Amino acid sequence: ILKVSDKATSIIGQGVHVEDLSISPSAAINLYGITIKNPEGFAPGQLLRIRRLRLDMRLYKLLKGNLSFKNIILYSPEITLLNDDKGRLNISDGLMRFLSQKSTARYQVDEFRIDSGIFDFNGDERYRSDRINLRLGNLSSDPGIKTEINGAIVYAGNRIDINGWAYLKDIPKRVNFSLSSKDFVLSAFRKSLETYKIDTEKTRIDFVLHAKGDIEKGFHMTSNLKVKRAGFPLFSKEIKDLRLKTVAFLSLPDHSLVIHGSSLYVNNVPTAELKGVVTDLRENPSYRAEVKIDKLDISGLNFTKDVK
């Protein structure tokens, strides 16, 4: 255990500690209490903590020089990312190099699973996810292999379901996935939305987002967002159903979002359409748009002095 910990520490440049290790007769390896500590320059703490890591290996494949696993399971992994006053993350240069290296090893993993994971960034509830349960089926070093993706996370107190597939070793890598949530509550964004007088406790949102494309050109996206019990000061009348359907393309080379069409429905009545583009998403986002209003119930609007 000490040799494993010391070797890992020397490779990534951050302290690594493993509490215990066991090997079953079937060649399943269990590592317990894995910790990657914060690098120098950060307060004492940890970047990663894994309660248990299980590696269920096929020995006969290993004798032929191939890594083959029935499953790899991470139990209760917890990632805690931090920014220092210079904007650096608590990830050492050695760990960044290790993560960016392209492996030449041949491998096959029938199932890779994360059980009850946690992700935290600077202790900000807007970026915290917990109860992360994710499954990747059929991971391989060979191209042309379809990897299935499904699971769920709890983000800002709301459950988000994930489903899709990816060809991770193809050039370019192709991805097709959907995100969906029901009764999404905005409580975690209370401070950000209070300027707009939005009732974050009252408002509920259902949404479905589907994206398909590759990591070189970008993704064709469709979304369907439904706001229930809209707690917005813009509306004086109760809005039972506010829906926004959008078709767009996210271009990764030039960091832009092209909105081919976005349709707004108020109480199932087509109200407005929008087309446009958002450019320079990474540095200084700017937009241009064309809005067409079909029908708008002016009596339903609430013109008050405190609306910004």
Q: What pLDDT score does 134 carry?
A: 97
Residue pointed to by tokens 């976005």: 262
pTM: 0.84
| pLDDT at 3 > cutoff 90 | no
In this structure, of 34-43, 222-231, 257-266, the range with the lowest mean pLDDT score is 222-231
Residues 6+ apart with CB under 8 A from 3: none
pLDDT digits (tens, 9 = 90+) for 109-132: 999 999 999 999 988 888 899 999
- Checking DSSP bridges between strand 129-140 and strand 78-81, what pairing results, if any? unpaired
Residue-by-residue DSSP string for the chain:
-HHHHHHHHHHHSS-EEEEEEEE-TT-EEEEEEEEEEPPTTS-S-EEEEEEEEEEEE-HHHHTTT-EEEEEEEEES-EEEE-B-TTS-BS--HHHHHHHHPPP---EEEEEEEEEEEEEEETT-GGG-EEEEEEEEEEEESSTTPPEEEEEEEEETTEEEEEEEEEETTSSSPEEEEEEEEEEEE-GGGHHHHGGGT--TTT-EEEEEEEEEEETTTEEEEEEEEEEES---TTBSS--S-EEEEEEEEEETTTTEEEEEEEEEEETTEEEEEEEEEEE-SSSS-EEEEEEEE----GGGB---TT--
pLDDT digits (tens, 9 = 90+) for 279-301: 998 888 899 999 998 877 666 55
Q: What pLDDT score does 231 carry?
A: 59
Residue whose C-alpha is closest to residue 242's, from 275, 200, 207, 215: 207
pLDDT digits (tens, 9 = 90+) for 227-270: 886 656 555 556 667 899 999 999 999 999 999 999 988 877 88
pLDDT digits (tens, 9 = 90+) for 67-105: 899 999 999 999 999 988 888 899 988 888 888 888 778
What Cα–Cα distance (Å) separates residue 103 from each residue in 29, 62, 99, 107, 172?
22, 16, 10, 10, 17
- Reported confidence tier of residue 60, pLDDT bands at 50, 70, 90: confident
Question: pLDDT over 70 for what percent of the chain?
Answer: 92
